[in-house]
Amino acid sequence: MAKTVLVTGGCGFIGVNFVRLLLRERQDWRVINLDKLTYAGNLQSLADVSSHPNYSFVKGDICDAALLATLFREQQIDTVAHFAAESHVDRSITGPAEFIQTNVVGTFTLLEAAKKHWSGKSEGCRFLHVSTDEVFGSLGATGFFTEETAYDPRSPYSASKASSDHLARAYFHTYGLPVLITNCSNNYGPYQFPEKLIPLILNNGLHGRPLPVYGDGGNIRDWLYVQDHCEAIVRVIEQGRLGESYNIGGHNEKTNLHVVQLLCDLLDQKAAPLPSGQPRRSLISFVKDRLGHDRRYAIDAGKVAEKLDWLPKVTFEQGIAKTVDWYLANRDWTASVTDGSYQQYYQNMYGDRA
């Protein structure tokens, strides 16, 4: 069915992959990408599709109610795929204010805009709010997050996302807004900003720089290839039950140290050797732990498998090899997004931690 989709944050990591998927696989959907172009958003990530007839870009802030009202009215938006957020836990620890503004106030502003515009005519409309498994807190050695797990966010980032989930759910129950929520585990793949673990390790490993592993490296994340995540979101938009949430995960629990060592080995195989002749594992540097560092995340994705027949297609081994190949082939992209402001951030983060 034809749709007009407002993708917020479409110039960020997952948004870029999602926009590309829609333009490829949903040819009767019009895609309007609204992005503020923060440090994490890059227009060049979509340069090759920017003149696609179904695609348009609007630079703007999801906190701007007037802009949202105009967009909903003029573009007759019937579907929202809401990715825009401040997304990095470490930044939320050093500067939480932006997280409250974009993730909480921004989501509220977007919900209000959809409510006003769809009032009395929301049949067929969908508001898909993209969230994280981090809202559920931290697991011990066993167990999984299900859709029934109580919220227990522990970082300013996850608290802001939990808050936005609650608002989205409240708009369904109170106003009947056609809301759907997805809570996803850690994504990896092309176009991820190199402040997150996997692209940061690849970027540093290529340049022979130290590879910072927080604490003992034993924290566990449950990795999902970004393409699989984007396909799940389309499935939830098309077939999800209104008012419900779906956990999306890849069944790939790995310790951080395992991931870092694997990336070192893949770089040694695929890239030029270090000038020192040392294997890249020699660059691993255990640094001071993240404050309040969640120990383990693991998703039970049984509901989305059973109800919506979605399963991840890409194994961790396939996905990580594709990711390494992409970063090796796209060094210009990494160089251009890690500009001066990132260099300063990196220095502040790690300057005194190694």
Stretch that binds ligand TYD, among 42-50, 192-200, 237-245, 325-333 (CB under 6 A): 192-200
> What single string gives the DSSP state of each residue in 41-92?
--GGGGGGGTT-TTEEEEE--TT-HHHHHHHHHHHT--EEEE--S---HHHH
Number of C-beta neighbours around residue 15 at 10 A: 28
| Identified binder of ligand TYD from the candidate list 26, 91, 161, 196, rule CB under 6 A | 196
If one asks whether residue 130 binds ligand NAD (CB under 6 A), the answer comes out as yes
The one-letter amino acid code at 133 reads: D
Count Cα atoms within 13 angstroms, Cβ side, for 157: 19
**Phi, psi angle pair for 213, to nearest 5°:** -110, 120
Of the candidates 130, 180, 172, 134, the residue with the CA atom closest to the CA atom of residue 153: 134
- How far apart CA 237 and CA 220 sit, in angstroms, is 29
| Identified binder of ligand TYD from the candidate list 197, 236, 283, 298, rule CB under 6 A | 197
- Residue whose structure tokens are 């309007």: 32
| Identified binder of ligand TYD from the candidate list 16, 85, 139, 200, rule CB under 6 A | 200
80 or 84: CB nearest ligand NAD: 84
The interface partner of residue 214, options being ligand NAD, ligand TYD, none and the CB cut-off 5 to 8 Å by kind, is ligand TYD
103 or 219: CB nearest ligand TYD: 219
If one asks whether residue 310 binds ligand NAD (CB under 6 A), the answer comes out as no
Asked if residue 144 lies in contact with residue 92, where contact means CB atoms within 8 angstroms, the answer is: no
51-110 positions binding ligand TYD, by CB under 6 A = 88-89
Question: 133 catalytic, yes or no?
Answer: yes
The interface partner of residue 187, options being ligand TYD, ligand NAD, none and the CB cut-off 5 to 8 Å by kind, is ligand NAD
If one asks whether residue 200 binds ligand NAD (CB under 6 A), the answer comes out as no
Asked if residue 234 lies in contact with residue 3, where contact means CB atoms within 8 angstroms, the answer is: no
Number of C-beta neighbours around residue 231 at 10 A: 21
If one asks whether residue 199 binds ligand NAD (CB under 6 A), the answer comes out as no
Question: 157 catalytic, yes or no?
Answer: yes
Q: Is the dihedral of CA 142, 144, 149, 154 positive or negative?
A: positive
Cβ 100 to ligand TYD, closest distance in Å?
18
Read off the tokens for 163. 């808050």
- State the catalytic residues: 133-134, 157
Site residues, ligand TYD (CB under 6 A): 88-89, 186, 196-197, 200, 212-214, 219, 221, 256, 290
Site residues, ligand NAD (CB under 6 A): 8-9, 11-15, 35-38, 40-41, 61-63, 83-85, 87, 102, 106, 130-132, 161, 184, 186-187, 193
